[in-house]
Amino acid sequence: MNPYLEFVQNIEAGIHKAKGLSVSGRTEFSESDSRVLLFSPHPDDECITGLLPLRLMREAGKRIINIPVTYGSNLERQAGRAAELAEACGYLGWGIAGGKEGFSSLDIVDVVAILEKFQPEIIFVPHAKDWNSRHVSTHFLVMDALKQMDPDFSCMVVETEFWGAMDNPNLMVEADAQTVADLVAATSLHTEEVARNPYHLLLPAWMQDNVRRGGELVGGQGGEVPDFSFATLYRLRKWQGAELVQCIDAGLTIPMNSINIKEIF
């Protein structure tokens, strides 16, 4: 008898049971002057890679504002995706800004205007090799917009991954079960998308695999892996002097309720 059979069966049964779940509700929106912008290629990316923003809101009091760069290429679904995005961000307590009339994709003029308006302390953007063409183009759109900002403008830049893993992340952020469940729930509010492909139910598994990868990619090859169940990987740098510069000397891990999250950000 394989002693791990029950373990695997419980995972399978849990996913099957969760297909019938649904959530609703809203979280109070933070009015903090400490602003964080998420440049999301599509509605749902804000939830999938949103662990660190969620922790920044809850533990450091940051105001999180999602910027939907597009509403997807399916014109018939754009209004629906916008409505789903409002539900998902409302559930997490995040704002939404920057959407264009008619759901047109943002261009460099739009992004520069958003950066100038909000003067964010931190921005999130996909990394340059995140496979999906819209993720890649979002990266370069935001980088080009940063180059047009006043030379004195600076902010933290956190690169995210989903479709294509980064070779050199330098930040591993832990999530506990409650935080993962909140991200799964928010992702589930992109209802027609997850009806087509219930990827929200696989988010915990992805975050478990991030622990496997991050233990060595962030912590160092052959190093001791932190005792995390779930994590998301990022690359943290700073936009300063019209370029990206390193702002941490080595890879960092941020456990739940760590004081480091306030010290770093």
Q: Say yes or no to pLDDT of 120 above 90.
A: yes
How far apart CA 84 and CA 74 sit, in angstroms, is 15
Domain 32-264 has CATH 3.40.50.10320: yes
What is the structure's pLDDT at 258?
82
Q: Say yes or no to pLDDT of 102 above 80.
A: no
The number of beta carbons lying within 10 Å of the beta carbon of residue 148 is 14
What is the structure's pLDDT at 162?
97
By the 8 A CB rule, do 231 and 175 touch? Answer: yes
Q: Which amino acid is at 115?
A: L
Q: Region 54-83: what's the mean pLDDT?
A: 95
Domain ranges for the chain:
32-264
- Rounded to two decimals, what is the model's pTM? 0.96
Mean pLDDT, the chain, as a whole number? 95
Q: Say yes or no to pLDDT of 101 above 80.
A: no
What is the structure's pLDDT at 203?
98
Q: Which residues contact 217 (CB under 8 A, 6 or more apart)?
A: 166, 167, 168, 169, 233, 251
What is the structure's pLDDT at 131?
97
Q: Which residues contact 113 (CB under 8 A, 6 or more apart)?
A: none
* pLDDT tens digit sequence for 127-171: 999 999 999 999 999 999 999 999 999 999 999 999 999 999 999
Burial 209-224 (b: 16+ CB within 10 A, else e): ebbebbbebbbeeeee
Exposure of 142 by Cβ count < 10 A (0-12 exposed, 13-18 middle, 19+ buried)? buried
Structural tokens at position 168: 């050199």
Q: Region 240-257: what's the mean pLDDT?
A: 93
